[in-house]
């Protein structure tokens, strides 16, 4: 039995073939160029001589880029999200805003396309596998959308269904988007993001394999069992019989957004960020695997059970013991303001290019040390009134204007900083006061 109630969401078919996805980006490049000519002519007639960069970064161009990536979903949209985590002061703020928008902006599949995915995975009699299925997605993201269902045995499920064509077009999508961003001038030509692009492709291959995510979820739950905060968390079980490479069936756990939870219970504005930071340090320093996507939509809060609900495990990343030990060394040195030890640790981690970035070395050290301010501040750190993000941004502006001096840190570091930065941002948005110093000190001695 199915439930087909409508919902006011944008629906658009996902281009599923490589040709149609490439054509979408080619058409976008043409529109960007057309907008450039139109806007340039208009400003020339008004007696102005705009810079090329100003025309490329017009609101119309940026909105069209964001809208096209959102409609393509998959690797095209995900790459925008990944690039945004390393934007720092190197990307134009307008582009950073576009990439940030992609975290939450996605359109849904039309019903006919959705049924096609269900039939290709479960057969033409797919609707007989469930007692109930809702066509209205409860969530839509870059790789798939989530629907509610119920088995004949009464088990309530959250059914994550992958967009068609996403997995087989990863390499071409990412290469095409990088080319588009470079040709449009939205991404500096001199910025070397090849290592990040390679990691993005590998990460997407894993994230689009829902059987892999199923294994990650089960392994993560088993590893976390027995930790001091395990009872404060809710992890869904998995229906292994119904799950496939494109469909992941998990227990549906009731929950509200973190923002709504904090609004309904004031104490949660501090509790939720504290719990997430505790989980992060536990993941890195004890489990050596981290769920690296900080999007708040990956979490909900169950007010009845007073538990944080963990929803997504596609971006779980495992770190070697050597890396964890060296990063632990770096973060302790930064917390202690020991610049000599920090420099040695970051050198070992590959932060610095021996050939190029001596000009940026001190800036990188300063930023890393600045970022650990919440960890070394005794008592509750007031994220809501902190100007830490602004200070880090201002320091980042000192990055050398010489393109040869730019150096992208190792992917492991970028994924970690993406998560930590996202947690700090969430704490700031909630106006949280968290004793990060006490939480971090629980992990100063590695077991």
The Cβ-side half-sphere exposure at 123, using a 13 Å CA radius, reads 5
Whole-number pLDDT of residue 141 = 75
pLDDT higher than 60, residue 220 = yes
pLDDT higher than 90, residue 142 = no
Using 50, 70 and 90 to split pLDDT, how confident is the model at 415? confident
Distance CA 284, CA 358 (A): 29
Which of residues 268 and 74 earns the better pLDDT score?
268
Q: What is the pLDDT of residues 304-343, one digit of tens each?
A: 999 999 999 988 999 999 999 999 999 999 999 999 999 9
User: Of 55-64, 368-377, 419-428, which range is least confident?
Assistant: 55-64
Whole-number pLDDT of residue 69 = 60
Q: What is the pLDDT of residues 422-431, one digit of tens each?
A: 899 999 999 9
Range of the domain at 351: 257-447
Domain-located, residue 190: no
Q: What's the predicted TM-score (pTM) here?
A: 0.80
Domain-located, residue 238: no
Give how many domains the chain has, as a whole number.
1
Domain-located, residue 395: yes
Domain-located, residue 286: yes
User: Of 142-151, 179-188, 208-217, which range is least confident?
Assistant: 179-188
Domain-located, residue 71: no
Whole-number pLDDT of residue 82 = 55
Using 50, 70 and 90 to split pLDDT, how confident is the model at 49? very low
Question: 172 with 53: CB under 8 angstroms?
Answer: no
Both tokens of residue 54? 């100003």
Distance CA 188, CA 408 (A): 13
What's the chain's average pLDDT? 80
pLDDT higher than 80, residue 11 = no
Domain-located, residue 275: yes
Go through the chain and tell me how many residues it has: 447
**Would you tell me the crossing angle of helices 361-371 and 339-349 to the nearest 10 degrees?**
110
Whole-number pLDDT of residue 42 = 45
Using 50, 70 and 90 to split pLDDT, how confident is the model at 28? very low
Q: What is the pLDDT of residues 104-140, one digit of tens each?
A: 555 688 899 999 999 999 999 999 999 999 999 998 8
Distance CA 265, CA 244 (A): 38
Domain-located, residue 172: no
CA 237 to mean position of chain CA atoms? 23
Domain-located, residue 288: yes
The Cβ-side half-sphere exposure at 305, using a 13 Å CA radius, reads 15
pLDDT higher than 80, residue 229 = yes
Q: Please compute the mean of the pLDDT values over residues 367-385 and round it to a whole number.
A: 95
Whole-number pLDDT of residue 3 = 41
> 3-state secondary structure string, the chain?
CEECCCCCCCECCCCCCHHHHHHHHHHHHHHHHHHHHHHHHHHHHCCCCCCHHHHHCCHHHHHHHHHHHHHHCHHHHHHHHHHHCCCCCCCCHHHHHHHHHCCCCCCECCHHHHHHHHHHHHCCCHHHCCCEEECCCCEECCCEEEEEEECCCCCEEEEEEECCCCHHHHHHHHHHHHHHHHHHCCCCCCCCCHHHHHHHHHHHHHHCCHHHHHHHHHHHHHHHCCCCCHHHEECCCECCCCCCCCEEEEECCCCECHHHHHHHCCCHHHHHHHHHHHHHHHHHHHHCEEECCCCHHHEEEECCCCEEEECCCCCEEECCHHHHHHHHHHHHHHHCCCHHHHHHHHHHHCCCCCCCHHHHHHHHHHHHHHHCHHHHCCCCEECCCCCHHHHHHHHHCCCCCCHHHCCCCCHHHHHHHHHHHHHHHHHHHHCCEECHHHHHHCCCCCC
Q: Please compute the mean of the pLDDT values over residues 83-102 and round it to a whole number.
A: 52
């Amino acid at each position: 039995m199915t439930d087909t109630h409508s919902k006011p969401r944008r629906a658009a078919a996902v281009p599923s073939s490589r040709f149609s996805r490439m054509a979408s980006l080619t058409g976008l490049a043409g529109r960007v160029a057309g907008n450039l000519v139109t806007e340039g002519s208009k400003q020339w007639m008004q007696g102005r001589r705009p810079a090329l960069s100003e025309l490329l970064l017009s609101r119309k161009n940026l909105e069209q880029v964001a809208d096209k990536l959102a409609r393509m979903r998959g690797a095209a949209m995900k790459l925008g999200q990944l690039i945004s985590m390393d934007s720092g002061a190197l990307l134009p703020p307008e582009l950073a805003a576009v990439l940030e928008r992609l975290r939450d902006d996605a359109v849904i599949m039309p019903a006919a396309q959705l049924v096609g995915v269900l039939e290709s995975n479960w057969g033409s009699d797919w609707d007989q596998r469930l007692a109930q299925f809702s066509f209205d997605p409860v969530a839509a993201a870059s790789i798939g959308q989530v629907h509610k269902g119920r088995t004949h045995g009464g088990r309530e499920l959250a059914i994550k269904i992958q967009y068609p064509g996403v997995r087989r077009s990863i390499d071409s999508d990412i290469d095409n988007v990088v080319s588009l961003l470079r040709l449009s001038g939205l991404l500096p030509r001199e910025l070397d993001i090849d290592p990040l692009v390679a990691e993005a492709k590998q990460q997407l291959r894993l994230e689009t394999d829902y059987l892999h995510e199923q294994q990650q979820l089960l392994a993560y739950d088993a590893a976390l069992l027995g930790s001091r905060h395990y009872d404060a968390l809710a992890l869904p079980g998995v229906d292994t019989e119904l799950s496939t490479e494109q469909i992941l069936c998990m227990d549906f756990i009731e929950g509200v957004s973190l923002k709504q939870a904090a609004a309904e219970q004031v104490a949660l504005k501090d509790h939720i960020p504290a719990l997430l930071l505790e989980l992060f340090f536990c993941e890195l320093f004890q489990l050596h695997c981290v769920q690296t996507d900080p999007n708040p939509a990956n979490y909900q809060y169950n007010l009845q059970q007073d538990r944080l609900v963990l929803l997504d495990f596609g971006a779980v990343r495992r770190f070697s013991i050597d890396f964890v030990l060296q990063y632990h060394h770096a973060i302790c040195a930064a917390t202690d303001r020991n610049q000599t030890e920090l420099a040695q640790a970051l050198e070992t981690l590959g932060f610095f290019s021996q050939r190029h970035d001596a000009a940026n070395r001190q800036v990188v050290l300063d930023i890393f040390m600045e970022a650990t301010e919440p960890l070394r501040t005794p008592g509750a750190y007031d994220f809501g009134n902190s100007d830490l993000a602004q200070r880090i941004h201002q320091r980042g502006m000192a990055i050398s204007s010489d393109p040869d001096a730019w150096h992208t840190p190792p992917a492991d570091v970028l994924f970690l900083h993406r998560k930590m930065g996202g947690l700090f941002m969430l704490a700031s948005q909630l106006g949280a006061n968290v004793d990060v110093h006490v939480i971090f000190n629980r992990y100063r001695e590695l077991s």
